[in-house]
Amino acid sequence: MELIGLVNYALFMGIFIGIYALLALGLNVQWGFAGLFNAGIAGFFAVGAYTSAILTSAHADGRIGGFDMPFFVGWLAAMVAAAAIAWPIGKICLRFRSDYLAIATIGIAEIIRLVIKSEEALTNSARGITGLPRPGGDLPYVESQAAYLAIVIGVLAVTYLLVERQFNSPWGRMMRAIRDNELAARAMGKDIEYRRLEAFIFGAAIMGLAGAMFAHFNRSITPEAIDPMVATFLVWIMLILGGSGNNRGAILGAAVVWIIWSVSEIATDQLPHEYAVKAKYIRLFLIGLLLQLVLRFRSEGLLPEPLRGDQSKTGSGQ
Amino acid sequence: MGILELLNFYVIPGIVLGSIYALGAVGITLVFAILRYAHLAHGDLATLGAFIAFAVVTAIGVSPLVALPVAVVATAFIAVGIDKVFYEHLRDRPKIITVIASLGIALMVRAVVQVIWGVDSESYVRGISRPDVYFGLRIRDREIYTVLAMILLVGGLYVFLKQSKWGKAMRAMSDNPNLALLSGIDNRVVVMLTWIIAGGLCAASGVFLGINTELKSMMGWHMLLPMFAAAILGGVGRVEGAVLGGLIVGIAEELSVLVLPSEYKAAMAFVILLIMLLVRPTGLLRGKVL
């Protein structure tokens, strides 16, 4: 492969890692901070992607939307929309153990998938919404990819700093207290359900933002753009492998898992067609197995959650 | 619309679908109550059971009802095996870790099905089966088998849980695990029995879904939400509740077509689930809330 091809591939991969790292950060807020099991990540992702697509695409007949707004309005709206979906679900399910939330988020992701497939007036069903503006999209190809990567890294850095700040603040301490000992936290007078709802909505908003960034990167969004189950599961394995409760771990996990995932795809695509199709499922099997192995042998992940509480941060590791 | 039309096109298919959900929901409710976590791989285990029966049907050309016991036994073994290999060592950790593991198992089991049998739709028997007419009700043979099998299997389980020593042990573990362990109940046997029952019933629900519709690698995953809705609607830990819940969810899904676009049939289970969690989380028959 020529150098320029490699550069292009690296840029492409960088953008995807950035978007998945955002999703993993969002999940870290929910699972790492608050111990909330979200099995419908792809649903919040899709809500973000479509919200931004509807607001920023050019006007089209027979479809609501096409407001031609600038991309950042779409991105903000994506966060708001994902948060708005998270609110009622959290409100109903966060009173119970996280198992119920897991089931309900599977359900909401399924409903969102149905809505996207069948509400033609909103999402243009199978054809999807195309022609989204892409920041830096007028530049030549390589420069435009690089510009988008820079934007993704910028958004990721800002999100990381915000989440990290939140994590180290009294709010983060309280969330960990609720996660680790709900009864004790309740006895201290913390409003557990409300605080969990905050974490759930905060995480969902980040996921919505990631969805919007994905849609604008592709300049389009269709129901087939991502496989919901695979995307949700990849984010989970990224966070668990990287280290739940550790934001750097979430980003590292996103990079490691995405590199394994996409390089193995290139490798299996070299196979003859009939094997290549099966190889996709073998890869899925192996990624499932990887999760089992991490849970069993290194459940704290590559970068464990840092121990806090004393001034010296030497306590990390265990 | 006449009453017969309502029964023929909505209620009878609903009861059949509900019986299929009930078979799966009983397993979910037992795992939820005894092992105390939501098992997200339940639907995909049903898919595996259905395809094991499919392998038997294509290999020796018997009817799917003959292949059913094979699939039930094989899936029960696989369920016990999955527990031993993947879930057992997580038992002392927070239960939610096992839920994460089960999401991974769901993906793995489905990948196995997709690698071995591919992703295309299959069916046990080719051709169309015509319904017989009983007093104006149009019922297919396979629909009678499905409901009868559900009643027999769940009825047998109900008697087992109420009468036998190990059935009582399972109920004791569900009611108060500490007290049960203290009185000398062997937890390993209870866990194994739970998986044998859950896995076997899972396979039965998959096979009957395959008999009444078609076999697809995603069939089980799409059943997961209705099965959980049924288990929670009936009350977690209540076998008869799971049957009641399954029937209600099945009939509600079929009736929803009257008022909603048919694409949203699958949304009914979710609506029922949320309403129950909101209004009466213990379920109709007063089950547990974790």
The confidence band for B189, taking pLDDT boundaries of 50, 70 and 90, is: very high
Choose among B96, B224, B273: nearest Cβ to A37.
B96
pLDDT per residue over A274-312, tens digit each?
777 788 889 999 999 999 999 999 888 898 888 765 544
Rounded to a whole number, what is the distance in Å from the CA of B173 to chain A's nearest CA? 19
The confidence band for A1, taking pLDDT boundaries of 50, 70 and 90, is: low
Domain ranges of chain B: 3-121+141-279
Task: Tell me which of A136 and A149 has the higher pLDDT.
Answer: A149
B269: closest chain A residue by CA: A107
Task: Tell me which of A194 and A127 has the higher pLDDT.
Answer: A194
Question: pLDDT value at position A138?
Answer: 80
Task: Tell me which of A254 and B129 has the higher pLDDT.
Answer: A254
Task: Tell me which of B73 and B178 has the higher pLDDT.
Answer: B73
What's chain A's average pLDDT?
A: 88
Question: pLDDT value at position A307?
Answer: 73
Q: What value does the CA radius of gyration of chain A take, rounded to a whole number of Å? A: 20
* Cα(A105)–Cα(B277) distance, integer angstroms: 14
Cβ-Cβ contacts under 8 Å, A107 against chain B: 225, 269-270, 273-274
Contact of A40 with A278, CB cutoff 8 Å: no
- Taking an 8 Å cut-off on Cβ atoms, the answer to whether A96 and B277 are in contact is yes
Question: pLDDT value at position A280?
Answer: 85
Return left, alpha or beta for A271; rule: phi > 0 is left, psi -120 to 50 is alpha, else beta. beta
ipTM reported for the complex, 2 dp: 0.90
Q: How many CB atoms lie within 10 A of CB B253?
A: 24
Give yes or no for residue A66 having a pLDDT over 80: no
pLDDT per residue over B130-141, tens digit each?
788 888 788 888
**H or E, element range at B137:** strand B137-139
A229 touches chain B (CB under 8 A): yes
Q: How many CB atoms lie within 10 A of CB A38?
A: 30
pLDDT per residue over B254-265, tens digit each?
999 888 888 888
The confidence band for A228, taking pLDDT boundaries of 50, 70 and 90, is: confident
Cβ-Cβ contacts under 8 Å, B103 against chain A: 39, 102, 233, 236
In the predicted model, what is the mean pLDDT of residues A125-132?
81
Fold (topology level) of B3-121+141-279: ABC transporter involved in vitamin B12 uptake, BtuC (1.10.3470)
CA nearest to A180, candidates A125, A244, A236: A244
Cβ-Cβ contacts under 8 Å, B266 against chain A: 110-111, 114
Choose among A96, A104, A118: nearest Cβ to B263.
A118
In the predicted model, what is the mean pLDDT of residues A48-61?
86
Give yes or no for residue A202 having a pLDDT over 80: yes
CA nearest to A246, candidates A171, A207, A300, A194: A300
A278 touches chain B (CB under 8 A): yes
Question: What is the DSSP annotation of B198-260?
Answer: HHHHHHHHHHHHHHHS-B-TTHHHHHHHHHHHHHHHH-BT-HHHHHHHHHHHHHHHHHHTTTS
Question: pLDDT value at position B85?
Answer: 94
Structure tokens at A139: 């530049």
B36: closest chain A residue by CA: A99
In the predicted model, what is the mean pLDDT of residues B36-45?
94
In the predicted model, what is the mean pLDDT of residues A208-225?
90
Contact of A42 with A228, CB cutoff 8 Å: yes
In the predicted model, what is the mean pLDDT of residues A223-246?
89
pLDDT per residue over A11-38, tens digit each?
999 999 999 999 999 999 999 989 899 9
Choose among A93, A107, A114: nearest Cβ to B263.
A114
- Taking an 8 Å cut-off on Cβ atoms, the answer to whether A295 and B101 are in contact is yes
Question: pLDDT value at position A311?
Answer: 46
Q: How many CB atoms lie within 10 A of CB B98?
A: 27
- CB-count burial class (<10 Å; 0-12, 13-18, 19+) for B5: exposed
Give the rounded percent of residues in chain A with a pLDDT score beyond 90. Answer: 49
Question: pLDDT value at position A69?
Answer: 83
CA nearest to B42, candidates B28, B52, B22: B28
Contact of B225 with A110, CB cutoff 8 Å: yes
Structure tokens at B207: 């096979």
Residue appearing with tokens 């899972």: B202
Give yes or no for residue A316 having a pLDDT over 60: no
The confidence band for B126, taking pLDDT boundaries of 50, 70 and 90, is: confident
The confidence band for B104, taking pLDDT boundaries of 50, 70 and 90, is: very high
Contact of B14 with B255, CB cutoff 8 Å: yes
Question: pLDDT value at position A308?
Answer: 65
Give yes or no for residue A126 having a pLDDT over 80: no
B223: closest chain A residue by CA: A107
In the predicted model, what is the mean pLDDT of residues A135-153?
88
